[in-house]
Amino acid sequence: MDYFLYKNGELFCEEINLQEIAKEFGTPAYVYSKKTIERHINVYKNAFQKKDSLICFSVKSLSNISILNILKEKDCGFDIVSGGELQRALHIKTNPKKIIFSGVGKSNEEILKGINNEILSFNIESESELFRIEKIASENNKVVDVAIRFNPEVDSGGHEYIKTGRKGDKFGISPNDLVLKLSHYIYNSKHLRLIGLACHIGSQIGDLESYKLTAINIRQLAEEIDKTGNELKFLDLGGGLGIPYNSDKTPSPKDLVSIIEEELKDRNEKIILEPGRSITGNAGILLTKVEYIKDNFLVVDAAMNDLLRPALYDAKHDIWNLKQNDSDNKKWTIVGPVCESSDILAKDHEMNASEGDILAIKTAGAYGFVMSSNYNSRVRAPEILVDNNQYTVIRKRESFKDLIRNEVSLND
């Protein structure tokens, strides 16, 4: 559920008419609803009835510091995948003991920064990474808390590019024999402590069966790890819950948590989840103006550099006209101005639209702004946060100065 609704034929975000925002800040522009984000977090938190839990929001899905602050105020931790994301979490004064560091390619500098800030855990993704963290811990005379990210070998997730939990995927460690060998190794290490077992099976997952299998796998592996002498403190089932981009039906966090609580009822560890999309996806839209109509093309002022998902994953987003009018609907191909044939935001999209109309590309809060670029020397769009009847620019539109900031002119 979200707070983008028509009132008297005009699209509002909470109490704000979106035409007002388009008029004041121009287009393209990202708009987020604070109330929607808070609602989703509450749904996750209230879903846990029996188990101690921590929701570590996946920073990569929407990393603006004002958004992270909303989540911090709701007691969330953070799942990070880079030094930059670590710095964002520390910048807003997150308790480091709520930060989980995932990712297959952690550099020495990133590891050291995590160690020095005493984060909750590094989710180790390979044998080499384990030895590297141990070496850095030893050089700095520290004992570092780690979790092993294993591959539950569950085939799930939407597009091929967002499946992550299978044998042969670049993420996580498999087979389980290797996980157990490494658990033994950590038990005997002076500089590492195994406190968790983690996994993440993919993104935009629409079936609960995959999560059930994952929960069973994590329980069975945790039982084996018990025998190595390590005392696990958390089981982390990752993120990945799907959301409705069109009219597709997706499971609720409540149903997800009830399966996890049932399958893990005999375990005492804290449960960690790392949701991204299901917290911020439908809390954001991208406003864009229809510049031209040409045959069945709506040429809008947002492009693949603003919202990459349709070009990258063939993702479908619903698109609404800010002025509600379902008469004379036509089927449009909605394209941006970038010089690539793949710069298509929607195909065969049925709506009523005229030149100058403002459209809202829905469900653009997650993996939207964060994937934007300056391709075609286009400045990045602003991000605006609506809170009831107020709005604030939480990232300004870039300028030409921003575009060339780090460039060096040989003629100056």
Known catalytic residues are: 339
Tokens 């997730």: give the residue.
157
Q: How far is the CB of 60 from ligand PLP (least distance, A)?
A: 6
Rg of the chain (C-alpha set): 23
Note the residues at the interface with ligand PLP (CB under 6 A). Answer: 58, 61, 79, 102, 200, 203, 238-241, 274-278, 366
Q: How far is the CB of 370 from ligand PLP (least distance, A)?
A: 11
Q: What is the DSSP letter of 328?
A: T
Nearer residue to ligand PLP within complex by CB, 300 or 366:
366
- Residues with Cβ within 8 Å of 232's Cβ and at least 6 positions away in sequence, in order, are 194, 195, 196, 197, 222, 225, 226, 269
Q: How far is the CB of 160 from ligand PLP (least distance, A)?
A: 14
Q: What are the residues facing 392 on neighbouring strands?
A: 385
Nearer residue to ligand PLP within complex by CB, 172 or 336:
172
For residue 123, report the phi and psi dihedrals to the nearest 5 degrees: -85, 105
Nearer residue to ligand PLP within complex by CB, 273 or 285:
273
Q: What is the DSSP letter of 118?
A: T
What's the rounded Cα separation, in Å, for the pair 109 and 89?
A: 17
Nearer residue to ligand PLP within complex by CB, 239 or 382:
239
Nearer residue to ligand PLP within complex by CB, 82 or 228:
82
* Three-class secondary structure of residue 28 per DSSP: coil
What tokens were used for 224?
């084996």
What's the rounded Cα separation, in Å, for the pair 325 and 172?
A: 49
Tokens 């800010």: give the residue.
322
What's the rounded Cα separation, in Å, for the pair 377 and 49?
A: 50
Other CB atoms within a 10 A radius of the CB of residue 14 amount to: 18
